[in-house]
Structure 1
Amino acid sequence: MNFQTNFPAGYPVFHPRGGPFTGAASSSSGESRSGPHGPGAGAGAPEFDIFDWFPAYQSCQRYFLDHAQHDNGVQAVAALVNICLPFQWTTSPLVNSTGPGPHASGPGAYNLPWPRTGPVQNTRGQPPPVSVSLVPYIRRLIITGMDREPIMHGFFGEDWKKGVGPVHECERRNYLFAAKSGGWAQVKYQYDMSPHESVPFLKPLQDVQLAEIEGAEKTWSQWLAMEDWMVGPRAPDVEESGANRGGS
């Protein structure tokens, strides 16, 4: 089975067990960004194992549902950045990781073209473990400058760096890309989730390290090459290496 996953520009490349990982902290100099935003992934960085990462991500999901969303501090942050916690959803609220609460509906219902939770039942007709995407919360914390280590710890638990750290790094890079692609209004529009959960304010990316900027610059250049169809055998690095071989 092929576990290679195709992500948009800026997302990590997941490989089978023992394979490499190219993440958001990689840079042309091979440096990696350390600190509260998860492990770096430049040259010489530890390999990323999807089989090790996924249980850690699920652990963060359970912590978020069973503990964090019921904490007063997390609720205060969520209110400030205007995002509903799962137990506050007016349609099928989730009070914990065991399943949905009583059905409810109202004007504050979350309205997206995809569901927040997983399928109703699996192939055996049994309800699967509840799965809530943590990406909307990570994105909202990043764009409001709230993705500091204490807050990330409060939302996603003690092992948040291992569980949501890679996603966090990728979404930080995507925020840089969004800022470069359009103006303030367009960026805010892209990050608004619904009329009832619009972004109240935007802040520039916080605690940025040089390696993070260099990694984003390199990936942005790769995207510009993609726009000009400079991919595959026409990729700039391929052409440069071929020219070097021809001149040697």
Structure 2
Amino acid sequence: MSFFTSFPNNGYPSFPARGGPFTGASSSSEGSGSGPAMTGEPQFDIFEWHPAYQSCQRYFLDHAQHDNSVQALAALINICLPFQWTSNPLTGSTGPVLHSAGPASYNLPWPRHGPVPNSRGQPPPVWVSLVPYIRRLIITGFDTQGVLHGFFGDDWRKGIGPVHECERRNYLFAAKSVGWAKVKYQYDMSPHESVPFLKPLQDVQLAEIEGAEKTWSQWLAMEDWMVGPRAPDVDDPVQGSARRRES
């Protein structure tokens, strides 16, 4: 018996929702579009979003990555958690990390004599990008509400929800732009963290498709330099139909 025959959904592995953090609704569509996107939405407030994103970072580093369910899923989709990095592993969200070589790490410009403490005498928090993990969950079909909550905590809707929405759209664009092999290449992070499988975007709603179509038409206009004073009328049904035929 092959590995994938023990999983449902047409041969694609699906993580069993049994206890642990992976509980709750199984559909990601209910979370899609629940808040303003990061791009193209005037109501998006970066200062309101950022504390929630930091909360997701802390939860991911301090709690989620040490949970057995998260570790099992990370192994299945072949992505290292911060505490598993071979160079300067991160076990929590506090304390400086110098010259980190992890795939999602960010090397802050520490002074020569060490990190500058804050007003309370504490070192600045570690900064780790959550985007690689969001992307890997999306392309493998595991970006359900239960899994996102398990990875990023109670603030996941406000914190990583906008990023999740953008990355789902980016996945649609990647699939429309190039073939399977190049899409996989774009999402492979390193030779030892390559994507084990790609799954079509899950639980897509009509509003999400229409939003992606509108943004894709804007990109086609950009390719033709139809921007600024030459920008097409997005409300013109004739131009919109022509653009869809071109795509």
Q: TM-score range by the shorter chain?
A: 0.7 to 0.9
Note if 1:158 corresponds to 2:147: no
Which residue of structure 1 lines up, in the alignment, with residue 232 of structure 2? Answer: 236
Give, in angstroms, the shift of residue 173 of structure 1.
Answer: 0.0
> Aligned in 2, Cα 1:122/1:216: closer, same or farther, shift over 3 Å?
farther
> Aligned in 2, Cα 1:80/1:154: closer, same or farther, shift over 3 Å?
same
Give, in angstroms, the shift of residue 54 of structure 1.
Answer: 0.2
Give, in angstroms, the shift of residue 103 of structure 1.
Answer: 9.3
Note if 1:193 corresponds to 2:189: yes
Which residue of structure 2 lines up, in the alignment, with residue 226 of structure 1? Answer: 222
Which residue of structure 2 lines up, in the alignment, with residue 22 of structure 1? Answer: none
Note if 1:50 corresponds to 2:46: yes
Matches within 5 A, 1:176-187: 176-187=172-183
Give, in angstroms, the shift of residue 39 of structure 1.
Answer: 1.6
* Aligned-partner Cα distance in 1 for 2:46–2:98: 35
> Aligned in 2, Cα 1:38/1:93: closer, same or farther, shift over 3 Å?
farther
Q: Percent identity?
A: 75
Aligned residue identity for 1:119:
L
Aligned residue identity for 1:230:
M
Aligned residue identity for 2:142:
M
Note if 1:97 corresponds to 2:86: no
Which residue of structure 2 lines up, in the alignment, with residue 128 of structure 1? Answer: 124
Q: Which runs of 5+ in 1 are unaligned?
A: 1-32, 241-248
Aligned residue identity for 2:135:
R
| Greater Cα offset, 186-195 or 230-239 | 230-239
TM-score, structure 2 as length reference:
0.73
SS of residue paired to 2:192: coil
Aligned residue identity for 1:179:
A
Give, in angstroms, the shift of residue 37 of structure 1.
Answer: 3.1
Question: Does structure 2 retain, via aligned residues, the 8 Å contact 1:87–1:94?
Answer: yes
| Greater Cα offset, 115-124 or 149-158 | 115-124
Matches within 5 A, 1:29-40: 35-37=30-32, 39-40=34-35
Equivalent pairs counted in the alignment come to 199
Give, in angstroms, the shift of residue 99 of structure 1.
Answer: 2.8
Give, in angstroms, the shift of residue 50 of structure 1.
Answer: 1.1
Give, in angstroms, the shift of residue 49 of structure 1.
Answer: 1.4
Give, in angstroms, the shift of residue 48 of structure 1.
Answer: 2.1
Give, in angstroms, the shift of residue 36 of structure 1.
Answer: 2.4
Aligned residue identity for 1:236:
P
Give, in angstroms, the shift of residue 159 of structure 1.
Answer: 1.3
Give, in angstroms, the shift of residue 119 of structure 1.
Answer: 0.4
| 1:32-90 deviation digits (Å, cap 9, x = unpaired) | x9612352449xx9932111110000000000000000000000110000000000000
Which residue of structure 1 lines up, in the alignment, with residue 108 of structure 2? Answer: 119
Which residue of structure 2 lines up, in the alignment, with residue 7 of structure 1? Answer: none
| 1:212-234 deviation digits (Å, cap 9, x = unpaired) | 00000000000000000000000
Aligned residue identity for 1:199:
V
SS of residue paired to 2:91: strand
Question: Does structure 1 retain, via aligned residues, the 8 Å contact 2:29–2:204?
Answer: no
Aligned residue identity for 1:117:
Y
Note if 1:213 corresponds to 2:209: yes
Q: Which runs of 5+ in 2 are unaligned?
A: 1-27, 117-122, 237-247
Corresponding residue to 2:69 among 69, 73, 97: 73
